[in-house]
Amino acid sequence: MRADARKFGTAEKGLLPEGRVAGPMPWVIAIMMFLTVLAAAAGLGLAGAASRFDAQIGTRITIQVVEANPDLRRAQAAAAARAVQNLPGVTAVRPVPETEVQRLLEPWLGAGGLESDIPVPALIDVDMTAEAHRSLDRLRGAVAAAAPAARVDDNGQWLAPLASLIGALKWLAVGLVLLMVGATAATVVLAARAALDTHRGTIEILHLMGATDVQVARLFQRRIALDALFGGLLGFILAALVLIGIGERVSALGSELLGSAAVPAPAWGVLVALPAFGVFLAMLVARLTILKALGRML
């Protein structure tokens, strides 16, 4: 048995190129892994952004008190805050400071663009439970009774198109990942068939020496696994560098909207596992392809 194993080990060196980067397959797998990691990162980031939007803003409403008289505006804002803070389903009430409102308006009006005689609405953020958020009639009635100049804006309604877009992009990323997985499997199938055709004579000699189809397939899948490992690691490293670079630039912008789509830390565990999954997929596809082809040869 040991002698046969040495013979098969020697024959293995002639089955596929000795160098792990000798053929095109490692580079093709590297490209596939690069695109797969980027698509998976986009999907995971968008999924995290969608969940954060839903948890932080999806059940939040904003009360605006639009009143030219500043004293009356402050009085109605305080009355509206008192009216809603004890309602069932209200979890938090936060009057937005005037300085924060002015800071929100600066990108459009510029620093110091607000004159003292220009009225700025008073804003109150109200967080609610999902059940209470489904019906806002009671809250609207309480606000209208306490502050006639106030109006209630449902943030979830305004952000619904954005949430729908994020959901569509998330599923697009999932589709791209599945497409890349299929393309990688097809690449392995083509490489395995090409190697089988190239070394058909060697395989026949191995069969004459007593090698089984499983032993021959094991030689192929071991070599293909090395190619897949090299390509997978290379593609992952390049994709990780791209993601880190994009993350740094997004952080420099200081945009909460873009920052919410960043890849969360737990998701990196999934991304790191992709090269290992690629190696397993390549070995499995190569084994099945070779065994099926060898069965037809006999």
pLDDT digits (tens, 9 = 90+) for 220-271: 788 888 889 999 999 999 999 998 888 787 776 665 555 566 777 788 889 9
Buried b (16+ CB within 10 A) or exposed e, 159-190: beeebeebeebbeebbebbeebbebbbebbbe
Distance CA 95, CA 237 (A): 47
Ranges 73-87, 191-205, 218-232, 266-280: which has the least confidence: 191-205
Mean pLDDT, the chain, whole residue set: 79
Q: Where are the domains of the chain?
A: 2-54+161-297, 67-148
pLDDT higher than 70, residue 17: no
Give the pLDDT mean for 200-213: 71
Q: Which of 6-15, 75-84, 201-210 has the highest mean pLDDT?
A: 75-84
End-to-end CA distance of the chain: 24
Distance CA 286, CA 293 (A): 10
pLDDT at 115: 55
